[in-house]
Amino acid sequence: MSQIIGIGHTGRRKVLQATAAIGGLQLASPFIIKARGETPVKIGMVDPITGSLSALAVSEVEGAKWTVEQMNKKGGILGRPVELLIEDSANDTGTGVQKTHKLIERDNVDAIIGDVNSGIAYAMMGVTAEKKVFHVVPGGHTDPITGVDCKWNTFRTCNTTAMDTAAITGELVKRFGKKWFFITPDYAYGQTLQNNFVKKLKALGGEFQGDMLPIATSDFSATLIKAKAYKPDVLLNNMGGSAQINCMKQFVQFGMGKEMQLGGALFEIESVRSVPKEAQAGWWVMEWYWNQPNVPEVKKFVDAISPAIGGKMPTARHWMAYVSLHAVRLAAEAAKSLDAVKMAHALGDLELPPEVSLMPGKIRYRAGDHQLMSDIYIGQMHNAGPGGPDDLYKIEATVTGEEAAGPVESTGCKMSFPA
């Protein structure tokens, strides 16, 4: 038997530390039986398993591990078993780049997945493009990844910030008003997210104030006092992971829930589970949700993966990892090769089967910019409903990826392949 998850002693210790900190999630390595002489397809995964985005990263790791197990039960990729090698970027760009080099140059991976942190994912792209390794970004949202700095070898599963803001801005203005206050992380994701929000808000005649803060900020008191004095219609908490959770807790402590609405781009289920009930509110984007009764493939996926992740419902982060790994498989099978150039050509505009996309409609990675054209859900966050403790969101509207993204020309991407 051969261990499928290659983490290494130091990496394994970090994974265990991170999972203990967010609820003791089980990340024990699965095993497969390999035929003698059979060479595995190696996929490297870089994610911030430790640091302020660890809860999101661990969900992606959970989703990736389960997906690889299922793939191997069905023949792997090109008839070969899949081996997943996981590295911790520790939410640090230099570390993420170093781990990417290690996976490519020492471990000889055939493809790379990562990172949750947009800035790290962006930096990893430079390495993977130079080394000609196929790369899928599951959950890093900053626009240039599939925009002005798009790469021939890189595909992205989550939305761009421009897509998320295009989907939600009009709804927030229509329901609550045009005076907004932003609390935004000061790195690639937050910068592009707020810029897109501001552009659309101003076009609708709105006004705003806000603060840009370090990604790992824990004390939001000064910013919340500033927001309270501004008296906005909507407070947009654009922070992520533990920073967003801390901000929401302090928002409740300051008694601000009756003074302004909450809303914005992402309030991910990993974070919603960790905030007071008073903060489980507002109108937000959800990039994938487990409760889609009209899509039978979703129920099959949920029923299959839930026992493997502690009985919880899967989140968008599990979905992002699942789709990203199947993107590697589909690209290799369509190309009949693990050559990155052939895989990239093959995946562009390839319609994902419904059991992979897990949403209605024709879902594809657009050839012109390699961005997934997935549906975007707009709706309300709420306390746990009749569907159980994970029934935290109600989809009120759906925006197609094509509608939110606009034409390729508007992204600034000029795709160029190696000669």
**Residue 410: how many other CB atoms lie within 10 Å:** 11
pLDDT grade for 5, boundaries at 50, 70 and 90: very low
How is the chain split into domains, by residue range?
2-159+296-374, 162-286+376-405
pLDDT in tens, 311-369: 999 999 999 999 999 999 999 999 999 999 999 999 999 999 999 999 999 999 999 99
Amino acid at position 323, single letter: V
Encoded tokens for 208? 């705003």
pLDDT grade for 385, boundaries at 50, 70 and 90: confident
Q: Which distant-in-sequence residues (6+ apart) come within 8 Å of 345 by Cβ? A: 335, 417
Q: Which distant-in-sequence residues (6+ apart) come within 8 Å of 323 by Cβ? A: 138, 157, 352, 356, 357, 358, 372
Task: Decide if 2-159+296-374 and 162-286+376-405 have a common fold.
Answer: yes
Instruction: Reply yes or no on whether the pLDDT at 34 is more than 50.
Output: no
Provide the β-strand partners of residue 42: 83
Encoded tokens for 3? 């261990």
**Geometric angle at alpha carbon 256, from 255 and 260, rounded to 5°:** 155
pLDDT in tens, 105-158: 999 999 999 999 999 999 999 999 999 999 999 999 999 999 999 999 999 999
CATH architecture designation of domain 162-286+376-405: 3-Layer(aba) Sandwich (3.40)
Encoded tokens for 76? 């792997």
CA distance 304 to 297: 11
Amino acid at position 105, single letter: E
Instruction: Reply yes or no on whether the pLDDT at 59 is more than 50.
Output: yes
The superfamily CATH assigns to domain 2-159+296-374 is Response regulator (3.40.50.2300)
